[in-house]
Amino acid sequence: MTPLSSILSNQAALFRESTACFTWRGVVEKVHLNKVHLLYTQLASSGQRASSEWLNKHGNKTEKCKQDLKVACWNVRTKLDKADSSCPEHCSALIAHELSCLNIDIAALSEVHFTDEGSLKKCGAGYTLFWSGKPSSGRRLSGVGLMVRNSITSKLETLPTGYSDRIISMRLPLESKQHLTLFSVYAPTLLADPADKDSFYSDLRRPLNNTPANDKVLILGNFNARVGRDSEAWKEILGRNGVGSCDDNRHLLLEFCTEHQLAIINTIFQLKDHLKTSWMHPQSKHWLLLDYVLECQWDLKDVLHTRVMPSAECHTNHRLVCCKLKLQLKPKPKKKGNPIKKLNVSSLCREEVKVKFQADLQQKLDKSPCTNDTTPDILWENLKSAILKTSEEVLGHTKKKNNDWFHDNDKEIQELQARKRAAPQAHLAQPACPVKKSTFRRACSTLQCKLREIPNKWLDHLVWRTQLCGDLGNYRDFYEALKAVYGPTH
């Protein structure tokens, strides 16, 4: 009988003496039988409900949730209301009616011409208008807004935020605890002061940089820029289906998209020109594309379609641009806890490790405190703690697996190379010295010999480990060793 088996037999004898009516097998059965029976009865009683709940909780972790959303941008120019009108209800009612007919969820409005910040709820049409404009003391120019369905407004965690009379944003909560940050913007025109244009894009960068990294981002509005159709020069920003020529404002927009990795959705889909252009020049009568939808390049798969809706009418010379989305929401991975450390059990194959393990285990069992409580649970805990402590001290934990022989011997190889690099420097300093020259040759020879010897030792050890795993029936480690020999497969 081996020393390890004798240790376990002695512990079994202690169990039999302390529990006269129990054998060693009976102790284990008595300890665990109640737990197993309780678990079995719970599963049997829950039946199909337990399995379906388990599938919903564990089986669908990798499935992506999808959420439909229909957004639009529209330069309304508020032609229904005079400059001195204090009743914005007339214009907003007409806009809400058109959005309801087109089944739009969220619309980004430009040139709202309302003062300060505020909101207006249209119960009949089912929309709420949020706007941000100039102070009431100034002229009613520019102004942006968001018209949101009431069903979506009730889900908002915070109200839309207005940053200026040209920028307003909202953060929409989605499924799987994710969010969509949507901006409504109105850029300065082509004839505006260049300082105003730079100020607009600077103001837009600040909230965009503060947006959480996991949020999906949409920027909609009238950018007053013609980007043209040069998709080769602006890859991943412009699609192949641009329209018209370009102007001086395009550089600011395209550089902004390049900086934030945004794509202009209007140029992706192949449509007729009258379904892409959104504004007609009053003098040349040419239709141009000025209203854009921008989205992150890695979220382009969410976009189903983008086109102009010529049927929408609110007495403005701009057409409504509609974008249909199917947001693909991947659940956030759960934070992994501390990795489980595995004991290096394979080292027990070596005789010296086995002898040391048996001696240390016997020593810990002999020094274990004697207690009056001799119940099976207490005795088992003492034995288990002794085995675990001995295993951690003698066997240790498995280390990260390396890829090849040079990873296992990296430190030794680095030292040899350092000696070889130092030898020629000393030889060049004193080229006439025969000792320095012989030292240099010896260092080169030693490095070559070691580089042949190290992989041979590594392969010999790997062959021994493979054979041992095959003899012991440890097929998992056997195939791991074969992978180390043949390398990864693709």
pLDDT tens, position by position, 316-357? 889 999 999 999 887 766 666 677 777 877 777 778 888 888
Distance of CA 261 to the CA centre of its chain: 17
Find, among 187, 186, 155, 160, the residue nearest to 171 by Cα: 160
The answer to whether residue 13 is domain-embedded is: no
The answer to whether residue 377 is domain-embedded is: no
The answer to whether residue 381 is domain-embedded is: no
Q: Within the chain, which residues score under 70 in pLDDT?
A: 1-64, 78-90, 122-124, 332-337, 370-371, 373, 399-408, 410, 487-490
Find, among 66, 159, 144, 151, the residue nearest to 105 by Cα: 151
Amino acid at 15: F
The answer to whether residue 196 is domain-embedded is: yes
Do 276 and 421 share a structural domain? no
Dihedral class, residue 321 (left if φ above 0, else alpha if ψ from -120 to 50, else beta): beta
Which of 325, 358, 379 finishes a domain?
325
pLDDT of residue 489: 58
d(CA 394, CA 286): 84
For the beta carbon of residue 482, count every other beta carbon within 10 angstroms. 13
Do 446 and 306 share a structural domain? no
Do 308 and 170 share a structural domain? yes
Which of 270, 296, 325 finishes a domain?
325
Helices (H), 72-184: 89-101, 150-153
CA distances, 280 to each of 285, 286, 288, 309, 426 (Å) = 6, 5, 6, 14, 80
The answer to whether residue 342 is domain-embedded is: no
Cα dihedral sign for 362, 367, 368, 372? positive
pLDDT of residue 371: 67
Do 304 and 431 share a structural domain? no
Domain ranges, residue 285:
69-325
Beta strand 262-264 with 303-309 is unpaired
Do 240 and 120 share a structural domain? yes
pLDDT of residue 11: 53
Residue 301 maps to which CATH number? Answer: 3.60.10.10
The answer to whether residue 355 is domain-embedded is: no
Token pair for residue 400? Answer: 């990260």
Instruction: Calculate the CA dihedral of residues 410, 413, 415, 417 and round it to 10 degrees.
Output: -130
Say which residue the tokens 């402590």 belong to: 389
Do 436 and 289 share a structural domain? no
d(CA 347, CA 353): 7
List of residues 6+ apart from 302 with CB closer than 8 A: 216, 295, 325, 326, 327, 328
pLDDT of residue 403: 58
Amino acid at 22: F
pLDDT of residue 123: 57
Q: What angle do CA 479, 485, 490 make, to 5 degrees?
A: 80
Token pair for residue 390? Answer: 């001995």
Amino acid at 263: A
Say which residue the tokens 């010897």 belong to: 453
Instruction: Calculate the CA dihedral of residues 14, 16, 20, 21 and round it to 10 degrees.
Output: 150
CA distances, 356 to each of 17, 226, 256 (Å) = 29, 80, 68
Do 440 and 321 share a structural domain? no
Do 168 and 274 share a structural domain? yes
Distance of CA 305 to the CA centre of its chain: 26
Which of 286, 301, 325 finishes a domain?
325
Do 414 and 315 share a structural domain? no
pLDDT of residue 159: 92
Do 300 and 186 share a structural domain? yes
List of residues 6+ apart from 185 with CB closer than 8 A: 108, 110, 144, 166, 167, 200, 204, 219, 220, 221, 222, 223
Domain count, the chain: 2
The answer to whether residue 194 is domain-embedded is: yes
Do 463 and 315 share a structural domain? no
- Give 305's strand partners: 324
Do 421 and 291 share a structural domain? no
Q: What is the DSSP string of 12-25?
A: HHHHHHH-TT--HH
d(CA 142, CA 113): 6
CB of 91 within 8 A of CB of 78? yes
The answer to whether residue 335 is domain-embedded is: no
pLDDT of residue 33: 40
